[in-house]
């Protein structure tokens, strides 16, 4: 992802690069500095994947996307994360 593009939001850092594949692929990354316990990191990843699943149909195909969680995402609900991701994808021009 060295040559990819970056977009920021209050809850996430989005890194994306064009891919030759048909579908866009996602990775949710929660650093140990953000959440110390594995249980907390996995919970936040599940919330992030759930929010991505709700907006996936609107995302343009052919991208590799990495979502890096920031500290405020820990206490955010799935609906808040979903709204933040929508804004982030619009900002990055990833919606069709």
- Rounded CA-CA distance 86/93 in Å is 10
Angle at 92 between CA 89 and CA 96, to 5 degrees: 60
| Domains of the chain, residue spans | 5-91
Using one digit for the tens of pLDDT, what is the confidence trace for 48-91?
A: 999 999 999 999 899 999 999 999 999 999 999 999 999 999 99
Alpha helix positions (H), 1-77:
38-55
- Rounded CA-CA distance 76/59 in Å is 22
Cβ–Cβ under 8 Å, residues 10 and 70: yes
> Which pTM does this prediction carry?
0.90
Nearest to 67 by CA among 48, 43, 82, 94: 48
CATH class of 5-91: alpha beta
- Residue entry with tokens 């969680």: 69
């Amino acid at each position: 992802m060295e040559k990819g593009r970056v977009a920021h939001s209050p809850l996430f850092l989005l890194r994306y690069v064009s891919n030759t594949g048909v579908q866009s692929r996602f990775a949710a990354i929660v650093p140990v500095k953000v959440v110390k316990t594995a249980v907390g990191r996995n919970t936040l990843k599940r919330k992030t994947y759930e929010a991505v699943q709700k907006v996936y149909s609107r995302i343009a195909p052919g991208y590799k996307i990495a979502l890096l969680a920031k500290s405020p995402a820990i206490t955010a609900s799935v609906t808040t994360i979903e709204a933040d991701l929508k804004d982030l994808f619009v900002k990055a021009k990833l919606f069709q």
